[in-house]
Amino acid sequence: MRRDYDPADRELTRRALRDSGVGIDLRVVPNGEAALDYLYRRGEFADSTHAPRPDLALPDLNMPRIDGRQVLQEMRGHRELRRIPVVVLTASQHDEDVIHSYL
């Protein structure tokens, strides 16, 4: 699952995953609130056949509504969600953002 507002970055990610041969089906959500709805299978994502549990999460630290830090915190606090591997994406130049992602 990926959250990204830049279509060019999203397409690069999609292409890299496809070319890697790992067979990941990329699902994109518009913001952090939708990311949590997807992860918790709420609202439009309630049907697990249309919103399967992701094999990998690619949150952006600077998501609108609920930022990536809050999404990570929610994932770490949930028994099943904390098992999902996470690769944090950010354009931030601030060391604190990177450090906070590992805490």
Which domains does the chain possess?
2-93 (3.40.50.2300)
28 Cα distance to chain centroid: 8
Q: Residue holding tokens 């890299």?
A: 16
SS (H, E, C) the chain: CEECCCHHHHHHHHHHHHHHCCCCCCCEECCHHHHHHHHHCCHHHCCCCCCCCCCCEECECCCCCCCHHHHHHHHHCCCCHHHCCECCECCCCCHHHHHHHHC
Per-residue model confidence (pLDDT) at position 5: 59
Per-residue pLDDT of the chain (103 residues; tens, 9 = 90+): 555 557 788 888 888 888 988 877 888 899 999 999 999 999 999 998 888 999 899 888 888 889 888 999 999 999 999 999 998 877 777 788 777 766 6
C-alpha to C-alpha distance for 52 and 86, rounded to whole angstroms: 16
Report the predicted TM-score, pTM, of the whole model to 2 decimal places. 0.81
